[in-house]
Structure 1
């Protein structure tokens, strides 16, 4: 269950961070206003809290692994929300990042 919990937390963190960054982008670049920016800042703050819930106690490991989740999640967000069409290199890069996440977070380590 620890791996399932960790994966779910990475997903929630990705929604908060990518969604927050998207809201700021919409507020500033698409001129939607300060309420969008404020909502984005709140979501980005929530990302910081969600990351602390990971079962691993090592900040550097969690943040490094989350980097791979962010890459794949950003492409997925772009596909769903902005109708972005990744090419094969985007897919290959995202897959490599997710393999890196698995190695960093879930490889067996001595107790």
Structure 2
């Protein structure tokens, strides 16, 4: 990937030159420099599902004492994610260690 020295836009290749589609600036291509560039072309972007069948529960993530609304068990794995605006608290996602029921808690 090459960026325009004039306007900072991303350039594309046009024969033996890089060309900016925003301002029209051009510069010669350097094959040695291009060989060092990393490309996503041909890379496997989705490796599919991960097999967790042989992973111990303790290795999956932290647990906490919380009551499962489905079975009443008192332990669950948890993770926290920021899914709302940055000035709001994170959402807590739980998975019961007994029945694998999933639920979430938000601060209101």
Tell me which structure has the larger Cα radius of gyration.
2
TM-score by length of 2: 0.21
Structure with bigger RCO (C-alpha 8 Å, 6+ apart): 1
So what's the TM-score if we normalise by structure 1?
0.21
More helix by share: 1
